[in-house]
Amino acid sequence: MASECASHIHCQAEQNTSFVKDQETLDRHRTLGVSRKDEGALSVYTFRVWAPRADSVHLVGDFVGWEKGRPMTALSHGVWEYHLTTEASLEGMKYKYKLTSRGKSRYYTDPYAWQCEATEPFASVVCTENRFHFQDTVWLTHRRKNTLPLYVYEIDTATWRTHNSRPSDEPFAVFGYRELADTLTPYVKGLSYTHVALSPECFTAPAYLSPSTRHGSFDDFLYFVNKLHTNGVGILYPFPLVNPITQFCDGVCSYHCPSIIAYTLLALLHFAERCHVDGFLLPSTNEDASALAAFAASEIKKSHPELLFLHKGSLDASLCAFDAVSNSRKESALSRYLSCDPFFRRYHHKELALDGQTLLCEPCNSDRTLMSGFFGNYEEKFATMRLYHTYRLLYPAALHAYMGNELAPFTPRQHKRELEWFLLDFSMHQRYFSFVKAANALHLESKALYAGDCQVLYENENDNTLVVAKQYEGECLIGVFNFSAVLLSDYYLPIQANCHEIFSSDSIAFGGSGHENTRKNLAAEGGIVLDIPPLCAVILRANKIESN
């Protein structure tokens, strides 16, 4: 079904959106929203909106009234325009567009506005005084080379941290963009995440691209982006398809509508070029929306190949115009495998398959957390968390983590409360945090982990063991996983390699028992011998792997 949607959308787009590739049209759409030109003591504000199916459009707002407003003039290709000359500044004032189509009128937020109200009725905010100057030239040059791995940390800006741990819906509780940038950037950098993704939960009106005024001005948001970039961290923005943007036209269009396809392309270009975001994160919606997003990604990449497009949710492989696509079924299978009694895991060993390009998502937003779902007692749950996290680092794919998982919470996240930072006052949670920091640093420093070819060297479903090799340009790392709850002492692996241990999830510093192989000669006749602690992942560095 998904491939049929993609084919239909691609056909429609090729026939009806050719004008989007016209430079004059692109330049005009880059001026959509509100712009200002000063003429002596007067200021001319130009409002432009794209409404191809509207019979008439009126500008309404604080400065022209909310009922009748001012009629806008129709230009070519569905663009409507209105010039307002005034002596007074309109900055910070609210406005909307009143669209009439087929005898029905509706009020719409400007999808090209640079600011939007955080609460109902989600009015657009006039914002033209952009004095911010980016200082991220080095980052923009670097990202074009695509030399970084992709490890995404997704956050809800309202609840990552709040002032004095207050609920996010209280006045002055949330951090502003600048305060958030100064706090979040060193935190993410310290945990070796390469990109920050803004969750759709950040936006009360997620169908609109504009950042919410809840965290500050548009310049404040650009400061947030610039702060991340100048510290070597990318930023991904929510793709504007959570609620059907088709409603912007006349409420009856489908995702197959050429107008919607064109709108999507132009809106993404508009935002990416102005705000320097590094890509877009598309939550799982439906097959039609995913097909539209796939087409938009493929088209935009022709002019901006450095932009990233990630899709969360199960998606047909034929639509992989995305840089990474999550597989929620596989992630759920892995969680189920680790939630069952280790004695019975032998019957589910195939769920550990490492095939396919996947953006793995940690399911933290469900009715239970990873910690509460995993099998075992208190210490075993932490051991399983460390095993799970290390296993994901060797996955041949991009990686994705939702905020808070690095704290190993036992209870589901409260959507109006900040993360449970108090957990770091407890020894095991603090040690798990140290583990995440060390494991992520190893992932970032080792090209074999994030860019190497993946090969399964050995697996034994009766012992619940799996051995995986990652190789890249002469660097070879071997991951040895023990998914059972027993110590595998002097365990023989038929792998001919000269190797030594460089990382163990069972380290005392990480909350484990400290059963390591750092002082042990692993060489054996025709293979290697090592101790693998229960529920443990061991990473070995090898000079070369010889075929048996």
Which tens digits make up the pLDDT trace of 269-327? 877 888 899 998 877 666 767 777 777 888 888 888 899 988 876 555 445 678 887 76
Give the alpha-carbon dihedral of 360, 364, 367, 369, to 10 degrees: 100
Residue 244 has pLDDT above 80, yes or no: no
Ranking 170-184, 348-362, 424-438, 449-463 by mean pLDDT, the lowest is 348-362
Q: How far apart are CA 177 and CA 214, in angstroms?
A: 9
Mean pLDDT for the stretch of residues 441-465: 91
289: left (phi over 0), alpha (psi -120 to 50) or beta: alpha
Q: Is the dihedral of CA 494, 499, 505, 507 positive or negative?
A: positive
The per-residue pLDDT of the chain, averaged, comes to 83
Kindly list the strands in the beta sheet with 488-493, ordered across the sheet, starting from the edge strand earlier in the chain: 488-493, 527-532, 523-524
Axis-axis angle for helices 378-393, 328-339 (nearest 10): 150
Dist. CA 77–CA 51, nearest whole Å: 9
User: How far is it, in rounded angstroms, from Cα 436 to Cα 132?
Assistant: 35
Q: Rounded to an integer, what distance in angstroms lies between the CA atom of residue 293 and that of residue 291? A: 5
User: How many residues does this entry show for the chain?
Assistant: 548
**Residue 157 identity:** T
For residue 453, what are the CA distances in angstroms to 350, 353, 476?
Answer: 20, 15, 10
In the predicted model, what is the mean pLDDT of residues 451-469?
91
3-state secondary structure of 359: coil
Record the tokens describing residue 42, joined without a space: 């007067």
Q: Give tens-digit pLDDT for 45-63.
A: 999 887 877 889 999 999 9
pLDDT at 315: 52
* Residue 542, beta-bridge partner list: 476, 499
Dihedral pair phi/psi, residue 95, rounded to 5° = -155, 165
Query: How far is C-alpha 189 from the geometric centre of its chain's CA atoms?
Result: 16
Q: What stretch of H or E contains 442?
A: helix 427-445
241-251 as b/e, with b when 16 or more CB fall inside 10 Å?
A: bbebbbebbbe
DSSP state of 116: B
- Write out 184-239 in H/E/C secondary structure: HHHHHHHCCCCEEEECHHHCCCCCCCCCEHHHCCHHHHHHHHHHHHHCCCEEEEEC
**Tell me, what's the pLDDT at 357?**
57
Strands 94-101 and 124-125: antiparallel
Taking alpha carbons only, the member of 413, 523, 545, 532 closest to residue 474 is: 545
Domain layout of the chain by residue ranges: 2-125, 452-546
Structural contact between residues 9 and 297, judged by C-beta atoms closer than 8 angstroms: no
Q: Evaluate whether 2-125 and 452-546 have a shared fold.
A: yes
b/e per residue, 426-441, with b = 16+ CB within 10 A?
Answer: eebbebbbebbebbbe
Please tell me the distance from the alpha carbon of residue 447 to that of residue 12, in angstroms, as a whole number.
41
Helix, strand or coil for residue 342?
Answer: helix
| % residues pLDDT > 70 (the chain) | 82
- Rounded mean pLDDT, 415-434: 94
Is the pLDDT score of 538 beyond 60? yes
Residue 2 — pLDDT band, cuts 50, 70, 90? Answer: very low
**pLDDT at residue 107 is higher than 60:** yes
Centre a 10 Å sphere on the Cβ of residue 273 and count the other Cβ atoms it contains: 13
Query: Which residue do the tokens 């048996």 mark?
Result: 548
Local confidence band at 205 (pLDDT 50, 70, 90 cut-offs): low
Best CA proximity match to 119, nearest among 127, 129, 111, 109: 109
Please name the CATH architecture into which domain 2-125 falls.
Sandwich (2.60)
- d(CA 35, CA 108) in angstroms, rounded, equals 19
pLDDT at 240 over 80: no
pLDDT, one tens digit per residue, over 175-199 is: 999 999 999 999 999 999 999 999 8
Are the C-beta atoms of residues 495 and 457 closer than 8 Å to each other?
A: yes
Q: How far apart are CA 354 and CA 358, in angstroms?
A: 10
- Give the residue-averaged pLDDT of 358-380: 76
- CATH class of the domain defined by 452-546: mainly beta
pLDDT at residue 185, as a whole number: 97
pLDDT > 60? residue 118: yes
